[in-house]
Structure 1
Amino acid sequence: MNKLKLIEVGFLIKTIYSMILFSFVMIVISENKVKAQQVQGSSSITLENVSYGNHPNQVIDFRKAKVDKPAPLVVFIHGGGFTGGSHDKVNENTIQQYLDEGIHHASVEYRFLKHADFPAAHEDCIRALQFIRTKSKEWGIDKNRIAAYGGSAGAQLVAYLAWGDDFANLKSEDPVSRESSRLKAVAFWGGQSTMDMNWWVDNIPGYRRDFHAKKESKRKDLSFIERRALINEISVINHITSDDPPTFMRYGMNPDDPIPSGLKRARGWIIHHVNFGIAMEEKLKLNGVEVVLNYPKAKKVFKDERSFLIHHLKK
C-alpha cells in the first residue's frame, strides 16, 4: 500500500474537502434524522469519553458485550463534513445488535476543521484505533478482530484505516504508536473513491467543471505537478492493494437513476454517488479483495453493513 504523507498533504486536503463541505453537511443532517439517538447517559455505555489524546474531542465511548473471553470489536466513526456530528449520535438498535452477537462497540470522536487542519481527523482515528488496542486486555478485546464502519466523512476515515499502510511504528518508545492500525473488515456508505475532480466530471452525473471553479481558482500556491501528486495521495482508491480487508459499501441510488430535483438534494446525491463505489469495487476485485457493493437494484449478498461485519468478526 501507499502510506499517506500526512503532514505534507494536510493543507491541500483541507481545501479539497472544503469544496464539498456544504454537501456533506446537507447529507449528515438527513442521516442524523434516521433513528439517530443521543446515547449520552445511556446505561449501555461501559466507558464514556475515554481520552486517547489531549484535545477534548479526542475521546472514545466503549460498550462492552456480555462475554467471558476476549471478543471482537466494531468501531463507529461518524460523519458531519469534518465540521460537526458527534460520536454519541449512534443508532441504539445497531449498537445493541452488535452487543447481542458478543461484539463490543466503540464510537470515536475526532477534531474538526475548526480545531485543526487536515489531516487531523485522519491522524486522530489512527491514534484512537491504536489506543484501543493497548486496552485490549483491560477491555476484553480480541485485537485481531476489529472492524470499523461509518458514513459520509466517516466513510473517508474508515476507508483510510482499511486501505492505508499499517501505521504501527515498532521502534517507537510510545506503546500506543507501536500498535497496529489495520482492520479485519470495513463497511461504509456514501464514500468517495477519488478527489480528482476531472474524474468527477467524467463519471458523476450532474457534476460540472464549474461546480467548484471559484474555490479551485484560489489555489495558486501549488504547481500543477504538486497539485496532482497531492490529490493522488488523498484519493483512497489509490491505496487499494491485495492485502486489504473485506469491504462493504452502500449507496442510496442506482447507477442510472435521474438526478433529483432541488439544488441541496442534488448536491448531496452527486457527492455520494454510486459510481464512486463502482470504481472502488472494480479495483478491489482486481486485487482479489472481497467486496460487496449495495445499492437499491443490486443483488443483496449481505443486506446491510451490520450483517457483513458480524459475519467477518465471528469467523
Structure 2
Amino acid sequence: MRRSKQWPATNHSPNSKLIRIFWMSFTLMVPLLLSAQTTSPQARATKITFENVPYGDHPNQVIDFWQADVKGPAPLVIFIHGGGFTGGSHDKISQEKVQAYLDAGIHHASIEYRFLKHAQFPAPHEDAVRALQFIRSKANAWGIDKNRIAAYGGSAGAQLVAYLAWADDFADPDSKDPISRESSRLIAVAPIGGQSTLDLDWWVEHIPGYDRNFHGDGKRGDLSKIEQRALVRELSIIHHISPDDPSTFMSYGMHPEAPIPSNPKRARGWSIHHVNFGIVMEEKLREEGVEVFLKYPKAKVPFENDTAFLMHHLTQ
C-alpha cells in the first residue's frame, strides 16, 4: 500500500522563487511546446456541461467538464495541456477526441493550472493534484465513478499526468478539508511527448541535438545545492516510478534512430520531445513490474493510440 504523499521539506512553496534553470528553459521553449501540442484549437462543437468550474482561488484554477449521456456513475478521463508551464490553454483541445470519449460513455475533463508567471514550482503540480481531488469530491454530483479515472496530456501536461499517476497518493485522511481527503491516483495514464527529468545535464548526455546553450546557467543564490537537487528530483517524474503504478502508454513522434532535423527550429522542438525520454521511463517501469507501452513510428504496440489505450482501461 502506497503512503500518502507530502511535499518535500525544501523551500518550494508556490510563493518561493523559481529555480532559474526551469524558468529559462521553459520560457524559451514555450513556442515550440505549444506548436507540439497533440490537440489543436477548434470550435467548441461539443457543449460543455460545466465550464470553468473553480477548484481554487486563482483565475487559472478551473476545470471544464463534459458529462457523458449515461445512467449511473461513469468513468472519467482528464486532459492536461502543455506549454512549458508558461502558456497553453485548457480549452485548446480536440473536439473529436472529447466526443469519442463521450460516445463511449466516458466523462471528459480538461484542467487549467497556474503558470510560472503566477506562482513558482511546484505550483502546476500542486494544482494538478488539487484539481483531481476536487473532481473526485464531485463524484456524486457529476456522476463519476471515482475508481475509474485516467488522464492524458502532452509535454508539460505529460509530466503532470505522469506525476499524478506515479507520485505517492496525496490523500490526507485526517484533513479537515474534505477535498484533501480524496485520492490523487489514476488507474491508467497516457503521457504524450513527455520529459522524464528536469535535469538538463541529463538532456545533454542522452538527447540527440540538445544543446546546453539553449537555456540558462541554472545558478541560484537563495537555495543550496542540496535544496536545488531535491526540487529537481521531486519534479522529475522518473523518480516517482514504483511497482504499484498504473498501466502506462507513452507516445513520441520520432524513431529512436531518426536523424536530427536539418531545420534548427524544428530540431530544437524535436529534441525537447525526444523518444529517449520515453525509453528510459519504459525501462524503469518495466524494472518495477508496471505494464507499459511505448509508441513511436514503426513500434509494435497493441493499441493504435492513447485514446484506444485509455478507453480499454476505463471500460473494463
Give the residue type in structure 2 aligned to 1:56. Answer: P
Equivalent residue, structure 2, for 1:16 = 21
Name the structure with the higher helix share.
1
Aligned mate of 1:110, from 95, 108, 113: 113
Taking the aligned partners of 2:53 and 2:214, their CA distance within structure 1 comes to 41
Q: Decide whether the 8 Å contact of 1:38 with 1:88 is kept in 2.
A: no
Q: 1:230 to 1:114 in 2, by over 3 A?
A: closer
Q: Decide whether the 8 Å contact of 1:12 with 1:230 is kept in 2.
A: no
Equivalent residue, structure 1, for 2:268 = 267
Q: Decide whether the 8 Å contact of 1:57 with 1:109 is kept in 2.
A: yes
Give the residue type in structure 1 aligned to 2:62. Answer: V
DSSP-derived class of the 2:34 partner:
helix
CA displacement 1:9-39 (0-9 Å, x = unmatched): 455765332233122431312437x643142
Determine what percentage of the aligned residue pairs are the same residue: 62
Aligned mate of 1:72, from 70, 75, 81: 75
* 1:241 and 2:242 are equivalent in the alignment: yes
Q: Decide whether the 8 Å contact of 1:23 with 1:264 is kept in 2.
A: no
CA displacement 1:30-68 (0-9 Å, x = unmatched): 437x643142xx552111111111111111111111111
Give the residue type in structure 2 aligned to 1:15. Answer: R
Cα RMSD (Å)? 2.0
Aligned mate of 1:206, from 202, 205, 209: 209
Q: 1:17 to 1:46 in 2, by over 3 A?
A: same
Q: State the 1:276 CA deviation.
A: 0.4
Identify which range, 196-205 or 179-188, moves more after superposition. Answer: 196-205
Q: 1:231 to 1:113 in 2, by over 3 A?
A: closer
Kindly tell me the number of residue pairs found equivalent between the two proteins: 310
Q: State the 1:95 CA deviation.
A: 0.3
Equivalent residue, structure 1, for 2:159 = 156
Structure 1 unaligned spans of 5+ = none
CA displacement 1:73-124 (0-9 Å, x = unmatched): 0001111111221111110000000001100001111111221112111111
DSSP-derived class of the 1:298 partner:
coil
* 1:285 and 2:290 are equivalent in the alignment: no
Q: State the 1:262 CA deviation.
A: 2.3
Taking the aligned partners of 1:28 and 1:7, their CA distance within structure 2 comes to 31
Equivalent residue, structure 2, for 1:128 = 131
Compute the TM-score of the two structures, normalised by the length of structure 1.
0.92
Give the residue type in structure 1 aligned to 2:292. Answer: V
Give the residue type in structure 2 aligned to 1:28. Answer: L
DSSP-derived class of the 1:25 partner:
helix
DSSP-derived class of the 1:60 partner:
strand
Q: Decide whether the 8 Å contact of 1:3 with 1:164 is kept in 2.
A: no
Give the residue type in structure 2 aligned to 1:20. Answer: S
Compute the TM-score of the two structures, normalised by the length of structure 2.
0.92
Q: Decide whether the 8 Å contact of 2:8 with 2:230 is kept in 1.
A: no
Give the residue type in structure 2 aligned to 1:164. Answer: A
Q: State the 1:7 CA deviation.
A: 6.4
Q: 1:75 to 1:173 in 2, by over 3 A?
A: same
Q: State the 1:224 CA deviation.
A: 3.6
Equivalent residue, structure 1, for 2:99 = 96
